[in-house]
Amino acid sequence: MIKLIFTTLLSAYSVLASHSLLANEIPPESEKYHALDELYSQTMEFLKQKVDQKLIEPQIQLKKLNPRIQLPRCQTELQFIDRTPTKLAGRTTIGIKCQQPSWQTFVSAYIDGKLSVVITTQGILKQAVIESEDVKIAAVHYKSVPNDALISLENAIGMRAKKSISAGTVLTLRTLQAPFLVFRNQPVSILTNIGSIEVRSKGVALEDGVEHQRIDIKNSSSQRIIKGIVVAPNTVVVP
């Protein structure tokens, strides 16, 4: 009788031990594969870091993957690959890559929000120089922001308008041009190098000129018309 009880207990112990080993060797389904919600959360965090302090009032929407997809749990850190790193808003695609085991998937996203850009506070006439009171920084929906929009007031103030600009307009590089350093019919200093000696004379500009532009000038002494390169306000160099 004692032998029978001992044999029964030994058999039960063997079964339990066997089940315990199997439980350790075969993880549950929830641990074998990545939960899709986990991937969405990490993708969202990646995108939030991308637009942080660059996009105002950002809103991010992710397109869900097929719920039946099964991605083996990655044994290494997941890599997030941005196909359009310079694009802050609109439609984009983020790649999620695992090295071990090797797999890759893609999550589509739509990012909405506003960008901080330079806009005009009042109408500006053609060829007028942009003053500090003419512009300000404002938040504008990304769809209304041109690719070459200015984002710094320093890059706008002092420039000239190529055409008339209405109030509330986003300023762009193509609507502005460099300020004149030399003005038509105004006196200029003419610098000429003769060997190691710099000779300075007086003249009159025959046209407006921006920095590095070659313009016609008249030497006040000889009355000759010569070519000079604008190097500074009211100053040209004759090569």
pTM (2 d.p.)? 0.67
Query: What is the predicted pLDDT for the residue at 27?
Result: 52
- Identify whether the C-beta of residue 121 lies closer than 8 Å to the C-beta of residue 100: no
Q: List pLDDT tens digits, range 80-130.
A: 999 899 899 999 999 999 999 999 999 999 999 999 999 999 999 999 999
Question: How much is the average pLDDT of 189-213?
Answer: 91
Query: What is the predicted pLDDT for the residue at 29?
Result: 56
- Which domains, and CATH codes, for the chain? 30-112 (no CATH), 115-177 (3.90.1210.10), 187-238 (2.30.30.760)
Give Cβ neighbours of residue 230 (< 8 Å, ≥ 6 apart): 181, 182, 209, 210, 211, 212, 213, 214, 215, 236
Question: How much is the average pLDDT of 7-33?
Answer: 53
Give the Cα separation of 142 and 16 in Å (integer).
Answer: 63
Query: What is the predicted pLDDT for the residue at 31?
Result: 76
Per-chain mean pLDDT for the chain: 88
Query: What is the predicted pLDDT for the residue at 10?
Result: 46
Bin 158: left if φ > 0, else alpha if -120 < ψ < 50, else beta.
Answer: left
HSE value, Cβ hemisphere, 13 Å, CA-based, for 151: 10
Three-state secondary structure along 3-72? HHHHHHHHHHHHHHHHHHHHHHHCCCHHHHECCHHHHHHHHHHHHHHHHCCCCEEEEEEECCCCCCCCCE
Q: How confident is the model at residue 6 (pLDDT cuts 50, 70, 90)?
A: very low
Give the Cα separation of 2 and 127 in Å (integer).
Answer: 111
Which residues on adjacent β-strands are paired with residue 165?
124
Question: How much is the average pLDDT of 41-69?
Answer: 95
Q: How confident is the model at residue 20 (pLDDT cuts 50, 70, 90)?
A: very low
Give the Cα separation of 78 and 140 in Å (integer).
Answer: 35
Q: How confident is the model at residue 193 (pLDDT cuts 50, 70, 90)?
A: confident
- The least confident of 13-22, 78-87, 229-238 is 13-22
